[in-house]
Structure 1
Amino acid sequence: MKFPRFIRLPQYKRFHITPRYYDPIKEDIEIRTEKIKRELENGVSTHYRSNIRGSFTRKAKYNVQSGLLRIILFLVICGVMFGYLLYGRDVLIYGLFSAGVLYIIWRLKGLLRRR
């Protein structure tokens, strides 16, 4: 006999998956036989070629500006670390202040160009 419960406990969840078997050789043979059957019916012979060739080549070009930006960031970080070791916190304070001023000038310059 089961007693009634006020708290509902989660039930055991069953997970069932039917495994799939993929045989690329068999699929390739089936594709070729279908193509040969179609060619025999139509009487036209075409050369079989995969459409996937060249799909995975990378076509992105190297951006020179991103390389320059990395070099500049590396030099700035090295300069801040060197300045911090030499002068202390003052370099960080003046560096953040000058970075803020340069950012404001850069934003204003962009706004003036748009007009």
Structure 2
Amino acid sequence: MLTENETAEPAFNLYTPDGGRGYIDHLFKNVLKRHDYRQYINERLAGDFACTLAQHFDRVTAERDALQQRLNETDQRMDELISAVRSINHAKHHEVLCLETMSRSTRSARSG
């Protein structure tokens, strides 16, 4: 789902010279914020090179996005676990130290 400031990425057929050039043109214009290569990309860049480069960037971008999603999910899970540990610690008969609590108590022991 797109947020207010995001726009949909245009679809390019990365197996055609026009699609490869379009992808590279879009990359330079919108991601790199460079407009000075537009004519070169559209008129002189070899079509097969543009396709290969576009396919590579598309794969790398997809991998980056997948890794970012995994990182976000892991951060969320860690927040949930820390919250669970804190709620367990409120019971009188159980105490479980989480990394955050341990580092704070280690610092206070060293300074005291």
Q: Larger radius of gyration, structure 1 or 2?
A: 1
Q: TM > 0.5 between the two?
A: no
Normalising by structure 2, we get a TM-score of 0.26
The structure where helix makes up a greater share of residues is 2
| Larger RCO: 1 or 2 (CA < 8 Å, sep 6+) | 2
